Amino acid sequence: MVQQRTRSRLAGLVPFALAACVAPSSSIGDPLATESTTTVDATTTTEDDPSDPSLAESSTSQDGNTSTGTAPLTCPEWSTCTVPKICSEFEQECEGALDSNLDEGGCPRQPCDAPGDCPDGYACYRASDWSRCGPHPCEEFEPGVCECGIGLDCNQDAICVPADIAPPEGTTGVELCGSFTDADACNTGFAYSDGHCRWYEGWQVPVDQTCAESLPFGQCTFVRTFAEPVDGPACPGTPELLTYAWLEDDVLTVLLVDGTEPPQDGYTDCGVLGVGELCACGCP
């Protein structure tokens, strides 16, 4: 009997450059205050209307956002920047997205290491646990200027993000989806903004045997919603079914996958494993 093994290897991480922020509606400095203006003949003094929203002061919330909807003038004391990052119109991830290192107020998000490290309403999110490259840190390379790093390496730091946009804490996409053992539970068991579980069918066969000894096999895999499509060998006559495989202990496991949603469980193009016709044993 061929044993199914748990796989937790990540694949398909695509490095990317990341910067995010929100442009403040006023210059960095002291909050705006109500001022008085005097007419030219100095006979009449009028005060600006304090209800004018352009004169409202900004108050910073715990995550760096403001109660008035404008950018905060200073970031929380635990932040790596004292002031928000100023966002240009060409920069992406400027609205507190899941994989941004900046919250909606433009302040760097609070770092964390494990569940329980973040304030109420927030979750500790590590992008690499969900087959993503994490955002690079933001800091002040010169006083009063917050900048976020970029690079080709995959950052594996964890940050506090709003719990309502985060996947579950304390697990990974591969582990979570791997816990489902039937197709119905898998396909409906978990989904969030950037990924979900998907059941794929295939077969298993020892590499020293033939297709006649192959056994049907199915697995719940973690797939990313916005992953780059993949190519690979397809079943003859059904080019939409790619043969992606895992080779371990001389047992070949092959899944027929959709190239637009490749599994993130460590499977690879079956053609590179050198197992010949075993890659097509269960093709329809």
Cβ-contact 99, 132 below 8 angstroms: yes
| Domain match, 13 and 131 both | yes
Name every residue whose Cβ is closer than 8 Å to that of residue 204 and which is 6 or more positions away in sequence: 2, 4, 214, 215, 217, 251, 252, 253, 254
pLDDT for residue 148: 86
Residue 183 domain flag: yes
Residue 206 domain flag: yes
CA 12 to chain centre: 13
Rounded to whole angstroms, the Cα distance separating 107 from 36 reads 32
- 67 lies in which domain range? 9-25+59-169
Residue 276 domain flag: yes
For 253, phi then psi, to 5°, come to -110, 125
CA 154 to chain centre: 12
Cβ-contact 191, 160 below 8 angstroms: no
| Domain match, 239 and 115 both | no
Cβ-contact 96, 84 below 8 angstroms: no
| Domain match, 153 and 234 both | no
| Domain match, 165 and 186 both | no
| Domain match, 217 and 87 both | no
CA 200 to chain centre: 23
pLDDT for residue 60: 40
Closest CA to 199 of 277, 265, 281: 265
| Domain match, 200 and 66 both | no
Cβ-contact 50, 169 below 8 angstroms: no
pLDDT for residue 116: 93
| Domain match, 226 and 273 both | yes
Residue 132 domain flag: yes
| Domain match, 243 and 115 both | no
pLDDT for residue 118: 95
Furthest-apart CA pair in the chain: how many Å?
103
Q: What is the pLDDT along the chain (284 residues), one digit of tens a residue?
A: 334 444 333 333 333 333 333 333 333 333 333 333 333 343 333 444 433 433 333 334 344 443 334 445 789 888 889 999 887 665 555 568 888 888 888 899 999 999 999 999 999 999 999 998 888 888 898 888 998 887 777 788 899 999 999 999 999 999 999 999 999 999 999 999 889 999 999 999 999 999 999 999 999 999 998 888 888 888 988 889 999 999 999 999 999 999 999 998 889 899 899 998 999 999 98
pLDDT for residue 91: 57
Which of 147, 169, 191 is the endpoint of a domain? Answer: 169
| Domain match, 274 and 246 both | yes
Which of 133, 154, 169 is the endpoint of a domain? Answer: 169
Cβ-contact 181, 208 below 8 angstroms: no
Residue 49 domain flag: no
| Domain match, 162 and 202 both | no
Rounded to whole angstroms, the Cα distance separating 35 from 249 reads 77
pLDDT for residue 21: 33
Alpha helices in the chain (DSSP H): 173-178, 183-189
Burial 218-229 (b: 16+ CB within 10 A, else e): bbbbbbbeebee
Q: Please tell me the total count of domains within the chain.
A: 2
pLDDT for residue 69: 43
